[in-house]
Amino acid sequence: MSVEIKPVGIKDVAKVANVSPATVSRVLSGRPVDPAMQERVQAAVISTGYRPNLAARRLRSQHTNTIGLILADIRNPFFTAVSRTIESLAAARGLRVILCNTDEDPAKEAMYLELMQQERVTGIILAPSRQRVTRAGELAMDCPVVLIDRAIPGAREDCVLLDNEAMAGLLLEHLHDQGHRRIAGLFGASSSTGIERRNGFERAAARLGITVDTLAIPHAPGEAEKAAIALLSRPDRPDALMASNGVMLISVLRALRSLSLEVPRDIALAGFDNSDWMELIGNGLTVIEQPVEEIGRTAMTMLLDRLEHPDAAMRKTVLSGKLIARGSSALNQATGS
């Protein structure tokens, strides 16, 4: 015996969400609605198992209902968290996501961009490789592109960034307020993010009237750990250290373990990105928490807006992070460091 199962439609979603079908259509197309209504619609889409008629949409469009998400380094907790937010938002709108990881390799980045062209994706959210951000020029894609985390000089794409200089300065000021005076920082050598955070770190030091050490770390396996070991092995090692991203922070922790140094007994430690495990290191690691959900939401909104208004002026959104102060940045009163 066969049973005919009626497909779920927009009216079914509207009934579950207690909104009009027009409101469901607005949410699925990414247009602005009341946040409470949007949440109800997204929950109803999941509970009813609603799936848009992609075949019908393809007949009306040259593009598929697919978003290309190209990240520079999926190991970085920041990119992992942002990708989860984007995927969730895309799924709620009936969009699929193709996730690609370039490992900061411009050849892989070019390959994936070409793949996006071949797949005729609706749009692309891109965290550019370090090499791309060092040169100006347009991406020249035939679909909208939104940049996250890093800007490209001279590019005309919409972008969502963190106020890296201000956040690095805030972290240094926190370490200074805790009583630390010999402070060092490890930064990416070539990414715009690392450069901006280094600039903010040094400018904050100048405002405070203190001298800091800054090390630019090449993007290569083991480089951050080696640099941290060399820095921490000096007789005049710093009493506080800042790492400019989550991956680098892990490298510093490995270096500390290899030298049998403890945080904050021997050195204070702070960094960027907030992951669950950071609460479990001693009394917790002090970090700048990036607004990953807001970055993901903003990037998706920009992409959908660009689809509706292709000739609108380019938009650049710069967001602030939040200082999460934990035990790793405390001054060790027993040693005075």
Per-residue pLDDT at 62: 56
**What residue has token string 């690609």?**
100
Per-residue pLDDT at 336: 43
**DSSP-assigned states of every residue in 75-114:** TSHHHHHHHHHHHHHHHHTT-EEEEEE-TT-HHHHHHHHH
CATH of 164-290+323-329, one of 3.30.830.10, 3.40.50.300, 3.40.80.10, 3.40.50.2300: 3.40.50.2300
Task: Indicate the pTM of the whole model.
Answer: 0.75
Supply 202's token pair: 């040094």
In order along the chain (337 residues), what is the average pLDDT of each group of 10 residues?
56 90 78 82 84 49 80 90 94 92 90 90 90 57 90 85 97 97 91 91 96 87 91 94 93 96 95 90 94 95 90 91 96 53
Cα separation of the two ends of the chain? 78
Per-residue pLDDT at 254: 96
Q: How many CA atoms lie within 13 A of 320 on its CB side?
A: 6
Per-residue pLDDT at 192: 84
- 264, 329 Cβ separation under 8 angstroms: yes
Per-residue pLDDT at 132: 63
Provide the CATH topology of domain 63-162+292-320. Rossmann fold (3.40.50)
Domain(s) of CATH 3.40.50.2300: residues in the chain: 63-162+292-320, 164-290+323-329
